[in-house]
Amino acid sequence: MSESANVRWHILFSGRVQHVGFRYTAYYRARDLYLTGWVDNLPDGRVEMEIQGPVANLRRFLLQMKSERHIHIEHAVIKEIPIWPHDRGFSVKGY
Catalytic residue among 8, 29, 41, 57: 41
The beta-strand segments (E) located in the chain are 6-16, 36-41, 47-54, 72-81, 90-92
Of 79 and 2, the structure prediction assigns the larger pLDDT to: 79
> Among 8, 23, 29, 46, which one carries the catalytic annotation?
23
Strand-pairing partners, residue 6, are 54
Model confidence pTM above 0.75: yes
Q: What's the mean per-residue pLDDT of the chain?
A: 95
Active site annotation includes 41: yes
Pairing state between β 36-41 and 90-92? parallel
23 a catalytic residue: yes
Q: Is the pLDDT of residue 95 over 90?
A: no
pLDDT confidence of residue 56: 96
Bridge partners, 41 (sequence order): 47
What's the confidence (pLDDT) of residue 62?
Answer: 97
Domains of the chain plus CATH, in order, are 6-84 (3.30.70.100)
Return the axis-axis angle of helices 22-32 and 55-66, rounded to nearest 10°. 140
- Average pLDDT for residues 5-20, to the nearest whole number? 96
| Residue range 23-62, pLDDT digits in tens | 999 999 999 999 999 999 999 999 999 999 999 999 999 9
